[in-house]
Amino acid sequence: MKKIAILGFGIVGGGIPTVLEKNADPIRRAVGEPVGISYILDLRDFPDSPYADRVVHELAPILADPETEAVCEAMGGVEPAFTFVTACLEAGKSVVSSNKELVAEKGDVLLKTAAEHGVSFLFEASVGGGIPLIRPFSTSLAGERISGIAGIVNGTTNYILTAMKREGRPFSEVLAEAQSLGYAERNPSADVDGLDAMRKILILAALTTGNLADRSDVTVEGIRNVAKEDIEAADALGGSLKLIARALIGADGSLSLGVCPMIVPEDNPLSAVSGVYNAVSLTSPVAGDILYYGRGAGRLPTAAAMVSDVTAILSGAAKAEKAPVFTKRAPGFCRPFNGEKGSCYVRAEGSSAELSELLASLADSVEPVPGTAGFVVGGASAGEIEKALPDARIIRILR
C-alpha cells in the first residue's frame, strides 16, 4: 500500500478519505496498489473519526516516515502552510495543495524547491475545484498560444449573482442567505471582494505565460456594490452580470489582469454558468475557444482534485510530465487593466444628452440601452471614462 499524509483536516482535507474510499478501485488501477493515509496533521483531535489514531500535531512524524510518499496540504493561508510544504519537499515528499493563496504568493518558490529535490508540487484543486484544469493548462496547452482567459472562478459570488438575477433580491439579503446555507463564509470578504478570484487568475496566468504577477497588479472589484440596476442593465443587453477573472495575454507573455463584475452577452457560454458552478474559457488564435466547466467548490469535488494529483504522483505520471516554472514578477509588470480599450455599460446622474455627448468625446461609439438610464460605450477604456466621470457606474462588457 502507498501512503499519503494530510495537512489540515477541515472541509477539503476531511473529504480526502472519502474520495480514497469511493474511488479505491480506479485509484488502485492507476497507481498499481491501494492508497492509504499515514498521518493527519491538525491542531485539533478528531476522537469520533475512524482516522483518530492517525492524527498528529507536529510535522516531524510525517517528515520522518519513509513510507509517506506524498502530502496533501489543505490548510489554507500562506503560513504556516509555506513552511510545512517547503519542509515536506525538502524531505523528498511530493506535495499536492488546494491552497490558492499559497500558490499565488509562493508558487514560484515551491515549484523550484520541488524541482531541486526531484519531487512534484501539484495544485489541481487550487482553481476550479473539481474541474481538471491545471494539468491541461500545463501539459496539453503547453505548446499553445493563449491570448485571453475569462473565468467564473468563485462559486460563492456566482451563487449570489445568480440569485440576485433570478429573484430580484438585493446583494445583502442574498449574501445573508448564502451564509446561512454554508455557501458563503461568515467573513465573506475573500469571495465577495474578489480576492479569491484574484489569486486564481494569477495562477492561471502564470501557468499560461510562466509569469507570476504581483497581486497589486490585478485590478480588483468585487460584487458588494452590485445594484439591482446593474443586473437590469445586463438583462436589457440580453446578458448576465458575472464576476469575471480576466487575463489579456500578449504574444510576448505580457499580461493585463482584472477581476470585476462584467456583463456577459448571452452568446458567450459563461453567461449560462449558474449557482456555485465555475467555468473558465480560453481564447487561442489557433485552436479557437476552449471551455472548462464543472463544480468549482465543495468538499468532495475539491478533495477529488487533490486525489487526482496524488494519483498522478504515485502512478509516476507527474514525474513524466514537465513541471511548470513560474517567474515571480515585481509590481508594475502588468499593463493596467483599466487602460484596456473595450466595451462598457455606463450610467450616471444628470442629463442623458450631456452624458451621451461627453461619452462620444471619449469613445468610438455610444448607444443608449433601452429601458435603462445608461449607454453602451465602445472603443474606450474604463480608466478613461472613470477619469472623465468619477461618479459614473461603469461595467465592462465581456467581448
For the bound state, the minimum distance from the C-beta of residue 225 to ligand HSE, rounded and expressed in Å, comes to 19
For the bound state, the minimum distance from the C-beta of residue 183 to ligand HSE, rounded and expressed in Å, comes to 7
| Of 19, 297, 304, 306, the one binding ligand HSE by CB under 6 A | 297
Q: Provide φ and ψ at 114, rounded to 5°.
A: -60, -45
Smaller CB distance to ligand HSE: residue 154 or 281? 154
Per-residue binding letters, 14-53, with ligand HSE (x by CB under 6 A): ----------------------------------------
Task: Write down the residue that cell numbers 495537512 correspond to.
Answer: 7
CA-closest candidate to residue 380, choices 364, 394, 399, 397: 364
**What is the C-alpha separation between 132 and 319, in angstroms, rounded?**
18
Q: Provide φ and ψ at 229, rounded to 5°.
A: -65, -30
Q: What angle do CA 203, 384, 255 make, to 5 degrees?
A: 20
For the bound state, the minimum distance from the C-beta of residue 8 to ligand HSE, rounded and expressed in Å, comes to 14
* Sign of the C-alpha dihedral computed for residues 207, 286, 337 and 258 taken in this order: negative
Strand partners, 40: 6, 55
Near ligand HSE in 212-241, by CB under 6 A: none
Phi-psi region of 383 (alpha: psi -120 to 50; beta: other; left: phi over 0): alpha
**What is the C-alpha separation between 1 and 164, in angstroms, rounded?**
49
**What is the C-alpha separation between 125 and 96, in angstroms, rounded?**
8
For the bound state, the minimum distance from the C-beta of residue 255 to ligand HSE, rounded and expressed in Å, comes to 22
Per-residue binding letters, 366-395, with ligand HSE (x by CB under 6 A): ------------------------------
Residues contacting ligand HSE: total by CB under 6 A: 8
Smaller CB distance to ligand HSE: residue 165 or 329? 165
Near ligand HSE in 184-203, by CB under 6 A: 191, 196
Near ligand HSE in 64-123, by CB under 6 A: none
Is 200 noted as a catalytic residue in this protein?
Answer: yes
Near ligand HSE in 310-339, by CB under 6 A: none
Of 93, 100, 200, 242, which one is the catalytic site residue?
200
Near ligand HSE in 128-187, by CB under 6 A: 129, 154-156
**Size of the chain in residues:** 399
Smaller CB distance to ligand HSE: residue 12 or 89? 12
* Sign of the C-alpha dihedral computed for residues 127, 278, 154 and 340 taken in this order: positive
For the bound state, the minimum distance from the C-beta of residue 186 to ligand HSE, rounded and expressed in Å, comes to 12
For the bound state, the minimum distance from the C-beta of residue 159 to ligand HSE, rounded and expressed in Å, comes to 8
Q: Are 119 and 92 in contact (CB under 8 A)?
A: yes
Separation in Å, CA 41 to CA 63, 94, 155, 158, 189: 11, 16, 28, 32, 27
Smaller CB distance to ligand HSE: residue 129 or 258? 129
**Catalytic residue ranges:** 200
Q: Which residues bind ligand HSE (CB under 6 A)?
A: 129, 154-156, 191, 196, 296-297
